[in-house]
Amino acid sequence: MEKFMEIITNNNSIITLMFSAVVTFATVTYAILTWRLTSETIKMRKAQTEPCIAIYLKPSQASIHFLDLIIKNIGMGPAYDVTFKILEEFELKEKTDRKISQIDFINEGIKYMPPNHSLETYAFRILGQYNEIIDKAIKIQVSYKNSEKKKIVETTHLNMSQFKGKQTLGENPLNKIAKNIEKIKSDVHNLYSGFHHLKIDTYTSEDRKRIEEDRQRQIEEMRKEQ
């Protein structure tokens, strides 16, 4: 024991230096872990409050040959002062169709978009101008602000090639249900208005019994005649 204490006394400076190194290493490690935890917390908070405006085209429910333009806030925070700038688009063969730059809310912008809020509108048709537009793209720049009034600017490319060779089997189930409901509604209206009449059996049990007795009597009379 005395020898051990003597070793410690003789190497006191070295032991003190080693202890200081261990404390320093522990302090640095703790600081790094604290910094990482703080960074992750900031990222999580930002993800929970940051808006994200998505712009895309999708086939219309009415027909695969028609496209709808969708503007949706897929982020978890509200977006303010949303504005759009068309950087690139193509001419449409069908003059009855409007270009993206002619859509009202694209020109006027959107003042406020809460989380998961979307705007949908008919864009244009593919039918009749497939070869002219299928290899082209629309380039849109969108600008908006988060809750801290920080401006976010992003550019979206809407490539028409994503619809190349796209086919569907059968009719959209929702459209089929809607048509059947309309048919039922029309049938009920016709019955209510008297346009069609139901064939209703108003015979009572006594009537059916009397008819059956008459039929049996007729059969018996035919047998007697034979």
Same domain? For 34 and 61 the reply is no
What integer pLDDT is reported at residue 90 of this predicted model? 86
Domain boundary among 113, 137, 163: 163
Strand partners, 137: 159
Residue 216: its H or E element: helix 205-225
Domain boundary among 111, 134, 163: 163
Q: Length of the chain, please?
A: 226
In the structure, what pLDDT confidence band is assigned to residue 142 with cuts at 50, 70 and 90? very high
Same domain? For 109 and 143 the reply is yes
Residue 192 placed within a domain: yes
Q: State the average pLDDT over residues 76-89.
A: 93
What integer pLDDT is reported at residue 154 of this predicted model? 94
Domain total in the chain: 3
Residue 74 placed within a domain: yes
Residue 124 placed within a domain: yes
Q: State the average pLDDT over residues 56-76.
A: 88
Kindly report whether the global pTM for this prediction surpasses the value 0.75: no
What is the average pLDDT value for the chain, to the nearest integer?
A: 78
| CATH number assigned to the domain comprising residue 107 | 2.60.40
Q: Is the pLDDT of residue 178 over 80?
A: no
Q: Is the pLDDT of residue 14 over 80?
A: no
Q: State the average pLDDT over residues 189-216.
A: 68
In the structure, what pLDDT confidence band is assigned to residue 115 with cuts at 50, 70 and 90? very high
Same domain? For 77 and 145 the reply is yes
Q: State the average pLDDT over residues 56-79.
A: 88
Is the model more confident about 166 or about 144? 144
Q: In what order do the strands lie in the sheet with 110-113?
A: 110-113, 79-88, 137-145, 151-159
Phi, psi values for residue 196, rounded to 5°: -120, 150
The single-letter code of the amino acid at 95 is: K
CA angle 47, 52, 57 (to 5 degrees): 145
Q: State the average pLDDT over residues 96-123.
A: 89
Same domain? For 132 and 211 the reply is no
* Structural domain boundaries, residue 189: 173-225
What dihedral do alpha carbons 33, 35, 40, 42 form, nearest 10°?
Answer: 160
Among 6-10, 41-45, 57-61, 171-175, top mean pLDDT goes to 57-61
Same domain? For 65 and 108 the reply is yes
Same domain? For 79 and 143 the reply is yes
Q: Which of 82, 84, 55, 87 is nearest to 69 (CA)?
A: 55
What integer pLDDT is reported at residue 114 of this predicted model? 93
Q: State the average pLDDT over residues 78-98.
A: 86
In the structure, what pLDDT confidence band is assigned to residue 82 with cuts at 50, 70 and 90? very high
Query: What is the Cα 101 distance to its own chain's centre?
Result: 23
Residue 168 placed within a domain: no
Least confident of 38-42, 102-106, 110-114: 38-42
Same domain? For 120 and 38 the reply is no
Q: Is the pLDDT of residue 79 over 80?
A: yes
